[in-house]
Structure 1
Amino acid sequence: MQKALQMQPELTMSMPWIPVLNRDNRQDSCRIPAKTGIPVPTMTNRVSATLDEAEDEISRIVLELGRQQTKSGLAGFIASEIRRYTPRDLMEIAAALRREIQSLPAHYQEGYGASVHEQIFGTHHRILLMERNGALEELPGEIPDPDLFQTFCRMVQQACLLPHHTDDAHMTPMGRLLYYLLSCFLIFVLEEPAHPIGTPFPGGFRVQLRGGVVCCPVKEKEGDVPYALCRFCPSKQA
């Protein structure tokens, strides 16, 4: 059945759901992405996935992510994956981020909170709006720096599956994955910095736009933060 669907992509559009057997030999729903024909197990809430579920999902997603060569293909794949995060997922992530921000010094909360909201939820909305308008399919060109992109994909899998010591939604494996998918879109599709202009950092520094160049005050500090986006980000050291 799967082989037949792979050979006839038009069928995957009219038959998006088929029953499959899970590990307990019970039927589950499984989505077949139109472009890949790879079965995708459904989860009600992604951020609450078990570790086994998350490992399987992240491995599948990173593998398919690394196969992309064009900006339009990468953007379309990212859009298809972030759409699978439910409204409840997003609400739980927002609540967890709000709690984290409230633990920061008072003078830092407002600016950092606005930047995080734009980086996560602004980018999420931006991708889905571009998809709805057909703009993703029209993105020209190939993914910049293929070697760096492959390094990014390997890093994502490692970072998402790190042991986590909190149940906060944004720090679960699937919560981290959303963060990296959104960052991937910004960096490798739009070639924009991972952090919005104006993002504050300790010491009173901010991401700034200078003469058309985005400058980041911590660009050269990437070695101090494991799995940071700095080495992939197109911004320049301030």
Structure 2
Amino acid sequence: MTRSRLELDPSEAEDEIRRVASDLMKSETRSHLARLIADEICRYTSHDLMQIAAGLRHELQNLPPLYRKAYQQSAHEQIFGTHHRILLMKREGRIDTLPGEIPDPALFTTFCRMVEEACLVPDRSGDVHMTPMGRLLYYLLSCFLIFVMQESAHPIGTPFPGGMKVELKGGVVCCPVREKEEDVPYALCRFCPAEQS
């Protein structure tokens, strides 16, 4: 039986996170990076994914009901939809046919360093999806979206407070909080190809 990635002790989790970040940085092509991400996410068990889903539901519990429902759908798509998409692409052999190199290698290296740092910040929430290995899964999925598929980190339609949301305008993904990266530690904004709306 595969061991839960979420239950690694702190020392094991730190070693794994450092290894994964180092492996990511060695990737030069989109197909190599996608293959690496697919292999890593396959190491998470079904139980890990159920725990992450439960933790996410718990975290969103205190949001206003209408906003919570819309945001929960987007968060579910961002995490579990992307996870499924990667596994499907791997199964169908489409990962191996992704053309081209990783866009902006310097930005990608900065992303990999940020992932390592962000995942190793002590967890104060107590929620399983915010453990170091839970955060690693989130960043791996985001890495796939941003650097492999060259898509926005948040799905189109993701709502933000104040009635704003991620939108597609004239073929360009526009995000209302794209320029707020300095306000949120370890935000994906500076890496995301979306433009400020």
**Alignment partners' CA distance in 2, 1:87 and 1:234:** 31
Amino acid in the other structure paired with 2:16: E
Q: Any idea what the Cα deviations from partners look like across 1:193-227, whole Å, max 9, x if unmatched?
A: 00000000011100000000000000001000010
Equivalent pair of 2:155/2:166 in contact (CA under 8 Å): yes
Q: Tell me the TM-score normalized by structure 2.
A: 0.98
Which residue does 2:67 correspond to in 1?
108
Counterpart check, 1:126 vs 2:88: no
**What are the ranges of 5 or more consecutive residues in structure 2 without an aligned counterpart?**
none
**Alignment partners' CA distance in 1, 2:66 and 2:51:** 25
Amino acid in the other structure paired with 1:222: E
Bigger Rg, structure 1 or 2: 1
Amino acid in the other structure paired with 2:44: Y
Counterpart check, 1:196 vs 2:176: no
Q: Percent identity?
A: 65
Runs of 4+ with deviation above 2 angstroms: none
Which residue does 1:57 correspond to in 2?
16
Counterpart check, 1:159 vs 2:118: yes
1:1-238 aligned at under 5 Å gives the runs: 44-238=3-197
**What are the ranges of 5 or more consecutive residues in structure 1 without an aligned counterpart?**
1-41
Shift of the 48–166 alpha-carbon distance from structure 1 to 2, 3 Å rule, reads farther
* RMSD value, Cα: 1.0
Count of matched residue pairs: 197
TM superposition shift of 1:123: 0.1
Q: Any idea what the Cα deviations from partners look like across 1:131-171, whole Å, max 9, x if unmatched?
A: 00000000000000000000000000000000111331110
Equivalent pair of 1:196/1:207 in contact (CA under 8 Å): yes
**Alignment partners' CA distance in 2, 1:115 and 1:107:** 13
Equivalent pair of 1:118/1:196 in contact (CA under 8 Å): yes
TM superposition shift of 1:43: 6.5
Equivalent pair of 2:165/2:176 in contact (CA under 8 Å): yes
Equivalent pair of 2:2/2:45 in contact (CA under 8 Å): no
Amino acid in the other structure paired with 1:168: D
